[in-house]
Structure 1
Amino acid sequence: MTTICIDCRYIGRRYSGIAEVLRGLIDLMPLRAPDLDFLLLRNPAHPGPLSAAANVSEVVVPQAANGPASMWWLPRLIDMAAIDLFHAPSNIMPARLTVPCVTTVHDIMWLTHPDWCRTGLRGTVDRLFYGHGIRRALRSADAIVAVSEATARDIVMHEPSAAPRVHIARSGVASRFRPVAPDWPALAALGLHPDRRFVLTTGQYAPYKNHEGAIAGFATAFRDRSDVDLVIVQRAGPGVRRLHRLAAELGIADRVHLLSAVSEDVLLSLYSAASAFLHPSLYEGFGNPVAEAMACGCPVITSNVSAMPEVAGGAARLVDPRDPADIAHALVAVVDDSRTAADLRRAGLARAAELSWESAATTMIGIYRQTVSR
């Protein structure tokens, strides 16, 4: 039997886009390829096994997936003697591998726009670390998997020699993202009420997410109105203070709700209750929140750059993320026009149904087989 080792340590207690991709794949691939054995590297923070499939075994590896030990000494952390192929799913390719390697590259921002990822001293360290690991993947991985056509184009433009090794396995959206009846008591505990409409934005605080642009666009659209709020769900960090200051400067501080990470049930309620989902990101490898919001029946407004138009597939209003007036025009059109909102809901649900993890899993299995056979 051929053994495929997949590093699943991004699946822990905290949600992330990479964890979502891994979850979508490992839920299906062992069932679709019973002739393959899968060895999953598990984060000790994950409560219990990752899979119950008969052709899956797991080993707990306490070191971080994207940490120095994994980058330079992974063969010392795990026994690779029985492994036929290693899948590095989080942008970087570990060094000193003795087997073929498939690397999923979600985006190459650390090479092209490192200032959009993280700033300050930590940003400098991360730029060197991730830049090193991504460059190794582009030069040396036996196969490179891009999660969107946009990422594939960026990879080839940056490193033309990688072109023959680039494959596209477009990410999907899980079935648990669906329209639900909003849990208004839970939303009320966050300061939201059913008699007030709100625009929703989600994502970690990072420059490329452009949360400042979301606030500026919202203020341009609704500064003089008191009937619409803005809800931003993000992991807590220093960016919260900056966003609070910006909202105060723009005169909308009392209508901007900055929430830390919420439970998935609450997130589904937010997607389902929002009048619009605003995602004015400057860059995405795929853009999971866009797909999630569409799957929940929320009208989507997103950027006209990077992977967002590809993910939206004609089912969202596209805007210039750097132009608050353009964002505001789209917000007013969607929030105040019930027909426009209804059209976007229908189109979004249809588009989300096309973003299938079945397709991604089938494509990935084919990449594994092709890489091993070579």
Structure 2
Amino acid sequence: MRALVDNLPTLASELRFLFLKNPRFPGRLSDAPNVQEITVKAAANGPATAWWLPRIVDLSGIDLYHSPANILPRGLDIPSVTTVHDIMWLNQPHWCNSHVAGIVDRLFYSSGLRHALRRSTAIATVSEASKAEIVRHDLAPADRVHVTRNGVATQFRPTSKGPSTLQHLGLGPDARYILTVGQNAPYKNHPVAIHAFHQAFADRPDIHMILIQRRQSANTLRPLITKLGLTDRVHTPGTIDAEELIALYGSAQALLHPSLCEGFGNPLVEAMACGCPVITSDRSAMPEVTGGAALLVDPEDCGSIATALRSIVNQPDKAAAMKAAGLERAKAFDWREFANANLAIYRNVLEG
């Protein structure tokens, strides 16, 4: 979203843009002269937006509507573009939320996704793997689906600053650790990451694991960590800011990202841009995103993951080569190019 807001007005100065803004955002989203902003109290992906947006926002004079997060509002009578990051809510909903309380989420998101795929004039998605899944699901033909690959912010880069999180966790500045970053959802496969870490380093008390979870649930993984005897070695510090995350990437032995599925996988590119070796899954978008710069593993095979972890920790030359390869690969991802790719879709739809 930030990439679109920052880049579209200057990339297409002849077009006018209307940004719908959450009331919690202070000030203006953009100072560009071709931007108008309206504050909308409804949540961007909530029921009011999904079902009644044309009733709560005046869209007269708008020629194209872009919905950037999987769901297209109903009742639109103008051409539309929807960015569909993945379709897990359709083909693997239990990977998104396996709890009974998640039934409402499943109904909401699956219905919203189906509507977006059927009714959008064009579909944008963030990887070739995600496009293939959308087309395979047979709700949108291939000629309506376009890849707009994510970028990586320039702030993600190698740094000499040590992470202060280590001190807060009672670790020394030279502590060696494996880093895992991702939201607390089943498809992120964090229990398997912990099991693999235990298998790899049960006899290496000097190696730690730091798990950064968005939407962290303190009770979800703690019983497993305790059962494996890793209470003092697997750390879940909770929410951290971007600067601290960059420092953690830069000092980690490796990023372990064994997801079962990804539309893109932002931590992969962030880690590579910070000079962190990456271990990730051999399926979905992850091989495509890492482009030969990562170690690929079977995310359902703890032995495969453990072997990869040990190879990086025990072979400094291999880790150094992966760091260099990752830094080079990360150069391929640029948010301005992402905005340009979206703009190309807009122009195509407007001219169509």
The alignment's TM-score, normalised by the length of structure 1, stands at 0.91
How far did 1:139 drift? 0.9
1:257 aligns with 2:253: no
User: Which amino acid counterpart does residue 124 of structure 1 have in structure 2?
Assistant: I
How far did 1:192 drift? 3.1
Partner residue of 1:195? 174
Q: 1:57 aligns with which of 28, 31, 36?
A: 36
Paired residue secondary structure (1:341): helix
**1-side partners of 2:139 and 2:58: how far apart?**
34
**1-side partners of 2:215 and 2:4: how far apart?**
29
1:304 aligns with 2:282: yes
Paired residue secondary structure (1:344): helix
Partner residue of 1:272? 250
Q: 2:293 aligns with which of 293, 302, 315?
A: 315
Structure 1 residue runs of 5 or longer lacking an equivalent are: 1-21
Partner residue of 2:23? 44
How far did 1:162 drift? 2.6
Paired residue secondary structure (2:65): strand
CA separation of 1:81/1:348 partners in 2, compared to 1, >3 Å: closer, same or farther?
same
1:351 aligns with 2:336: no
Paired residue secondary structure (2:13): coil
Matched-pair contact (CA < 8 Å) for 1:64–1:70: yes
Where does 1:60-99 land on structure 2 (aligned, <5 Å)? 60-99=39-78
Matched-pair contact (CA < 8 Å) for 2:163–2:244: no
Offset from partner CA, 1:250-293 (integer Å, 9 cap, x none) = 12221000121101111111011111111001111000000000
Matched-pair contact (CA < 8 Å) for 2:187–2:259: yes
Partner residue of 2:116? 137
Matched-pair contact (CA < 8 Å) for 1:174–1:357: yes
Structure 2 residue runs of 5 or longer lacking an equivalent are: none
Q: 2:183 aligns with which of 186, 204, 220?
A: 204
Paired residue secondary structure (2:141): helix
User: Which amino acid counterpart does residue 165 of structure 1 have in structure 2?
Assistant: R
When the two structures are aligned, how many residues end up with a matched partner? 352
**2-side partners of 1:305 and 1:196: how far apart?**
31
Where does 1:111-126 land on structure 2 (aligned, <5 Å)? 111-126=90-105
The alignment's TM-score, normalised by the length of structure 2, stands at 0.97
Indicate the percent of aligned positions where both proteins have the same amino acid.
Answer: 52
How far did 1:119 drift? 2.2
User: Which amino acid counterpart does residue 268 of structure 1 have in structure 2?
Assistant: I
CA separation of 1:95/1:236 partners in 2, compared to 1, >3 Å: closer, same or farther?
closer
User: Which amino acid counterpart does residue 62 of structure 2 have in structure 1?
Assistant: I
Partner residue of 1:366? 344
1:150 aligns with 2:137: no
User: Which amino acid counterpart does residue 128 of structure 2 have in structure 1?
Assistant: E
